[in-house]
Structure 1
Amino acid sequence: MPSPHRTILRAAVPLFGTMSAGIVAQLVGTSLLGHQATAQLAAFTLAGAVLNPVTAAVAGGLRGAAPFVAVHRDRPAEAVGVLKDARWLALGLGAAGAGVMLAVPSIARAGGAPDEAVAELGRLPLLLALHVLLYAAGSGANGVLVALGRSRLVLWSGLAGTGTQVALSLALVPRMGVQGVGVALLGSTAVAVAVSNGVLSRLTGSSPWPGRPRARLIVRMARVGVPMSATLVIKFTVMGGVAYTAARTGVQGAAAHAILIALDGFLGLAAFAAAQAATPEIARAASPRDARRVSGAAVTIAAAGVLVGGLVLLLPGGAVLGAFTPDAAVLGLAGGLVPLLLAFSLVGNCGIVVAYGLVGLRRSTWQLASAGTGYGLLALTMTQATEAGGLAGLWTAMVASAVLIGAMQVAGFVRYSARQSSP
């Protein structure tokens, strides 16, 4: 087997570039809102707390197709056929998710969010519901390109979508506030979906849009994709609850938490790129040793990415945090939690890589059990931790949850990779 580090890096670098551009676009929107009004940043955090589990459920349905696509690297037309069936599953999840997005104001009020933040939501829930439907109908093409060994082509849709989002954010957020962020995200999704599907269609010579569903294959993919969707829903639902718990400390606490979560996305870029690159390689691994070598290489790359990103946060002496908001209270809260952010990001993102390895082994049910245990305990303790230690207590509970989940996922990967054989 070739060097797993080289194999993963070759596929992960274009993905890293694409996701870096996407994170930059998100940070631009967050920064613009933070400088405009703290209440608007808090409102965006509340909507994002619901959007994350919804889009994660759709993404899980699509990513569950990765091991099925991976074995068709030499037969691109069959790989596209798998994507078509996966999109039927994603569309069902997306329709349900769009309904949830429309209920964001009610969810926010029930969660005890500040009235001034809820009042700023406006039409943002509708815009995000449309985004979810479009994402469900058209995403997944980039995953097929990665599985076919053409990850460089992913850059086209990533850069096009990011450019659209940044341009629309700069033009609309100063005038429309949080509504402008919603328009920018919807426009970005439309452009990215159009470009990625166009690239895949030209490469394979066949249309990637859903055709007549093949029930048997959809059920097989659902056995992998639905547990992964459930895992992500649990994760982001609990993390949404964490955001609401942070919001109950006040508008400044909600804004500080939003900044830290945005930075965690930045720190996890290498991990997500390595995880997506490793999944098809693990699915094609011919032996337990090969599967573990690929996973170990991906974990190493993920850890290096978090540590390098951590240096960027620590060295400038607070300059990165200052780019998000001029509010001294928010900066003080966020700055004091950077060490906990780094611990959470290191453990959590390495665990994400192992979790994607379980998907490559078609064992996402273990991933679901790990997430249910770790995030369940976080849900039970987050309120008490916040009451006892404020935001620091909340982030300490998040670190403990990440450690437990990661340990369970490693145990599961070791167990199931022992059964890996040539696909």
Structure 2
Amino acid sequence: MSSSLRVVLSAALPLLLSMSAGVVAQLLGTSLLGRQATAELAAFTLASAVLSPVTAAVAGGLRGMSPFVAACRDRPAEALAILKDARWLTLALGTAGAGVVLAVPLIARAGGAPEAAIAELGALPALLAGQVLLSAAGSGAGGMLIALRHSRKVLWSGLSGTAAQVVLLLTLVPAYGVQGTGVAMVTATAVQVVVANVLLLRLPELAGQSWWPGRPRGRRILRMARVGLPLSATLIVKFTVTGGVAYAAARTGVHQAAAHAILLSLDGLLGLAAFAAAQAVTPEVARASSPREARRLILAAVTVAAGGVVAGGVVVLVAGDVVLRLFTQDATVYSLALGLAPLLVAFSLVSNCAIVTAYGLVGLKRSSWQLAAVGTGYGLLALAMVPAATAWGLAGVWGAMIATAALIWALQITGFVRHSAALETATA
């Protein structure tokens, strides 16, 4: 095993275990809603289509701090000050995002979503807005632990939040439906945030440090924003268009919206290894001293990502009938999702390899290139999604998504090769 692959695996494995537990909880929620009522699952899909770009914007601001924290790996107190700067940035993003989440019913009606699904939203938008604010105020401790090479501690915070979410899902969803899902998500976020911050401040180098962000340092926040904001914008573009795709699917019917939601949930499961590898490799790329080292790290991370997708994809393709029946008892939804399983695997393979390459660009502090690549690809998808859905239904939508992911990955590879070459000049 190469040294680069060993470095990525050692950091990614605890993250993979933590995120696997989290995705299992999400799949449980989707399964409970799908087995209870198709309209409730469709309502949750509509809310998630808005929540995803909002939480992505907050997460982008925090992940933009990773290369700066990695540079302070030997000075944890300085790294903590960087985290506090990042939280000032995400508080502004989170406050605006919470307002957007509250407008889910209006956005759903404007998007032409079925009234049966909109009627089931209830208090869900308010609950999810609270989740956004909690995440904006307290997240980032996990990312700092990763950058400081304490990935194993992230596992405990993730498992704590997942345990709370699973218990509440099993307790609340059968009685309260989609509203119970919202309560479980807010509570899980609160538990995870508290545990991650406690574990961070229990590091010997940070003993006695305060949680309070303190006085904002304008210049340092601006420097970090130059990396974090393009990443936030990238994720907003991606998830906004992905949400638009969900609405395009919903316009063809409630069954299509539910099948699309199930496929997206499975994509999240297939991409676990990729997301873990991406988070693990970002600080390592930030500390790379040569183009060759940076490229080896990304190649190792892409290998981990592709391996995870292929392993999960085999299960979906071979035992798809068993897997999909965990999500729905509706024969129409089941048939739609089963027929699109090969397209799901193809999309997941390309898009998740692209995610890893994108995080390499973040490590190089070149997230603006990532924004340009994603803006190009998803801009074209935004133009194609409604005609594709009208002409070929969900198959057309997922075919367009595969083409988009391939284009974005090609552009990101080009950008990473170009910008990693600058490391040679900097070293010289």
Aligned to 1:218: 221
Q: State the percentage of identical aligned residues.
A: 68
Q: Matched residues in 2 for 1:185 and 1:12: separation? A: 24
Provide runs of 4+ in structure 1 moved above 6 Å: none
Contact 1:361 1:417 in 2 (8 A): yes
Q: Matched residues in 2 for 1:200 and 1:27: separation? A: 29
Q: Matched residues in 1 for 2:317 and 2:351: separation? A: 19
**What SS does structure 1 have at the residue aligned with 2:267?**
helix
**What SS does structure 1 have at the residue aligned with 2:327?**
coil
Aligned to 1:326: 329
**What SS does structure 1 have at the residue aligned with 2:72?**
coil
Deviations 1:192-224 (A, max 9, x none): 000000000111222343111111110000000
**What SS does structure 1 have at the residue aligned with 2:23?**
helix
Aligned to 1:63: 63
Q: 1:412 aligns with which of 408, 411, 415?
A: 415
Aligned to 2:46: 46
**What SS does structure 2 have at the residue aligned with 1:211?**
coil
Q: 1:227 aligns with which of 212, 217, 230?
A: 230
Aligned in 2, Cα 1:81/1:323: closer, same or farther, shift over 3 Å?
same
Deviations 1:48-98 (A, max 9, x none): 000000000000000000000001111111111100000000000000000
Structure 2: runs of 5+ lacking an equivalent: none
1:107 corresponds to 2:110: no
Deviation at 1:388, TM superposition (A): 1.0
Aligned in 2, Cα 1:76/1:43: closer, same or farther, shift over 3 Å?
same
Q: 1:385 aligns with which of 379, 382, 388?
A: 388
Aligned to 2:302: 299
1:116 corresponds to 2:119: no
Deviation at 1:317, TM superposition (A): 4.4
**What SS does structure 2 have at the residue aligned with 1:74?**
coil
Q: Matched residues in 2 for 1:307 and 1:210: separation? A: 42
Q: Matched residues in 1 for 2:360 and 2:100: separation? A: 30
Contact 1:138 1:209 in 2 (8 A): no
**What SS does structure 2 have at the residue aligned with 1:318?**
helix
**What SS does structure 2 have at the residue aligned with 1:190?**
helix
Equivalent residue letter for 1:418? A
Aligned to 2:378: 375
Q: Matched residues in 2 for 1:59 and 1:182: separation? A: 19
Aligned in 2, Cα 1:422/1:8: closer, same or farther, shift over 3 Å?
farther
What TM-score, normalized to structure 2? 0.98
- In the TM superposition, 1:140-219 aligns within 5 A as 140-203=140-203, 204-205=206-207, 206-219=209-222
1:258 corresponds to 2:261: yes
Deviation at 1:249, TM superposition (A): 1.0
1:348 corresponds to 2:351: yes
Aligned to 1:138: 138
Q: Matched residues in 1 for 2:225 and 2:144: separation? A: 17
Equivalent residue letter for 2:186? L
Give the total of aligned pairs: 423
1:277 corresponds to 2:266: no
**What SS does structure 2 have at the residue aligned with 1:157?**
helix
**What SS does structure 2 have at the residue aligned with 1:416?**
helix
Q: Matched residues in 1 for 2:248 and 2:389: separation? A: 8
Q: Matched residues in 2 for 1:278 and 1:422: separation? A: 20
Aligned to 2:271: 268
Q: Matched residues in 2 for 1:319 and 1:419: separation? A: 50
Q: Matched residues in 2 for 1:202 and 1:78: separation? A: 16
Deviation at 1:290, TM superposition (A): 0.5
Q: Matched residues in 1 for 2:32 and 2:22: separation? A: 16
**What SS does structure 1 have at the residue aligned with 2:289?**
coil
Deviations 1:74-129 (A, max 9, x none): 11111111000000000000000000000000000000000000000000000000
Equivalent residue letter for 1:93? L
Q: Matched residues in 1 for 2:45 and 2:212: separation? A: 33
Which has the larger displacement, 231-240 or 72-81?
72-81
Contact 1:18 1:158 in 2 (8 A): yes
Aligned to 1:311: 314
Structure 1: runs of 5+ lacking an equivalent: none
Equivalent residue letter for 1:263? L
Aligned to 2:87: 87
Deviations 1:245-272 (A, max 9, x none): 0001111000000000000000000000
What TM-score, normalized to structure 1? 0.99
Aligned to 1:289: 292
Equivalent residue letter for 1:406? W
Contact 2:320 2:338 in 1 (8 A): no
Contact 2:317 2:342 in 1 (8 A): no
Deviations 1:217-239 (A, max 9, x none): 10000000000000000000000
Deviation at 1:314, TM superposition (A): 1.7
Aligned to 1:126: 126
Equivalent residue letter for 1:176? Y
Deviations 1:276-318 (A, max 9, x none): 0000000000111100000010001100000000011122241
